[in-house]
Amino acid sequence: MGRQRRRWPRRVYGVGEEPDPRFSLANERTFLAWLRTAMALTAGGVGLDVLAPQKTSYLVLAVGLVLTGMAMSVFGLSRWMAAERALRTGSPLPALSAGALLVGVTLLFGLFIVVVLVTNR
């Protein structure tokens, strides 16, 4: 059980019992999907900045997208931990909470991009 003791993070592996490994694997894939979404936002921000480096509206959008991407990756990890904990203790999975906020912010950025493209400012 030495391996068990060294498992990180303690906050997750210190509670409950081993869940069905398939659930853990699915949880892992969900975490990775959040990371990839975060990368897409980051790439989108850089791409916008390449399109029009001189325009302030594009700069604001680019910075916002990259920051949202960074927040999303950290959120993905914390959600992975919360879900793994819930799997181990047999409690319901955590609500989307901050994730809903992040998705909302991303949608707002999409709207903003459309406005910026149409008005060409």
CB 31 within 8 A of CB 87: no
C-alpha to C-alpha distance for 77 and 28, rounded to whole angstroms: 10
Identified binder of other proteins from the candidate list 14, 15, 32, 97, rule CB under 8 A: 32
x/- track of binding to other proteins for residues 71-110 (CB under 8 A): --xx-xx--xx--x--------------------------
CB 57, min distance to other proteins, A: 13
Residue 97 CB neighbours (<10 A) = 12
CA distances from 38 to 3, 28, 63 (A): 32, 15, 13
Identified binder of other proteins from the candidate list 8, 92, 95, 111, rule CB under 8 A: 8
Find the largest Cα–Cα distance for the chain: 63
C-alpha to C-alpha distance for 66 and 120, rounded to whole angstroms: 21
Identified binder of other proteins from the candidate list 31, 82, 106, 109, rule CB under 8 A: 31
Contact set with other proteins (CB under 8 A): 3-4, 6-9, 12-13, 17-18, 20-22, 24-26, 28-29, 31-33, 35-36, 38-40, 42-43, 45-46, 49-50, 53, 59, 62-63, 66-67, 69-70, 73-74, 76-77, 80-81, 84
